[in-house]
Structure 1
Amino acid sequence: MDLSQGVPIQIHLETFVTQGEDNETHVFDEPGTLVQMGNALYIRYQEVDEDAGTSMPVTMKLREDGDVQLSRGSSNGDTQLKLFFANEKRVLTRYRTPYGIIPVETVTPRIDVRMTTEPVAGEVYIEYQLFANNQHLGDYRLRLQFNA
Structure 2
Amino acid sequence: MSLHHINKQKVKVTLQTKITFGQDTETYELITFGTSVYKGDTLYIQYTEENEAGSTNTTVKHKENETLLLRSGVFKMRQVFRLNELTDGYYESIYGRLGTQTKTKVRSYHWDEQAREGKLMLRYTLQMQGSEPGQYEMKISYKEETAK
Where on the TM-score scale, by shorter chain, does this alignment land: which range?
0.7 to 0.9
Report the equivalent of 2:140. Answer: 144
Larger deviation: 116-125 or 17-26? 116-125
Larger deviation: 33-42 or 90-99? 90-99
Aligned pair count?
142
The amino acid across from 1:73 in the alignment is S
Rounded Cα–Cα distance in structure 2 between residues aligned with 1:136 and 1:84:
20
Identity, % of aligned pairs?
23
Rounded Cα–Cα distance in structure 1 between residues aligned with 2:18 and 2:4:
33
Give the C-alpha shift of residue 36 in structure 1: 1.7
Larger deviation: 13-22 or 94-103? 94-103
The match for 1:48 among 47, 50, 54 is 50
User: What CA deviation, in whole Å up to 9, does each residue of 1:6-51 have, x standing for no partner?
Assistant: 10011111100112332211111111100122331100001122xx
| Mapped contact 1:3–1:34 kept (Cα < 8 A) | no
User: What CA deviation, in whole Å up to 9, does each residue of 1:56-89 have, x standing for no partner?
Assistant: 1111111133x11111224xxx631111111111
The match for 1:124 among 114, 120, 123 is 120
Rounded Cα–Cα distance in structure 1 between residues aligned with 2:113 and 2:30:
23
Structure 2 unaligned blocks of 5 or more:
none
Rounded Cα–Cα distance in structure 2 between residues aligned with 1:2 and 1:79:
30
TM-score, structure 1 normalization: 0.84
Q: How does 1:80-91 map to 2 (within 5 A)?
A: 80-91=76-87
User: What CA deviation, in whole Å up to 9, does each residue of 1:79-114 have, x standing for no partner?
Assistant: 311111111111011223334332110011111111
Give the C-alpha shift of residue 3 in structure 1: 4.0
Report the secondary structure of 2:84's partner residue: coil
The amino acid across from 1:37 in the alignment is K
Rounded Cα–Cα distance in structure 2 between residues aligned with 1:93 and 1:47:
20
Report the equivalent of 2:109. Answer: 113
Rounded Cα–Cα distance in structure 2 between residues aligned with 1:69 and 1:97:
19
Q: Give the root-mean-square deviation of aligned CA atoms.
A: 1.9
Rounded Cα–Cα distance in structure 1 between residues aligned with 2:88 and 2:56:
23
Deviation >4 Å, runs of 4+:
none
Rounded Cα–Cα distance in structure 1 between residues aligned with 2:5 and 2:91:
30
User: What CA deviation, in whole Å up to 9, does each residue of 1:111-136 have, x standing for no partner?
Assistant: 11111345531100110110133333
Report the equivalent of 1:73. Answer: 72
Report the secondary structure of 2:132's partner residue: strand
Judged with a 3 Å threshold, the aligned counterparts in structure 2 of structure 1 residues 145 and 2 are, in CA distance, closer, same or farther, namely closer
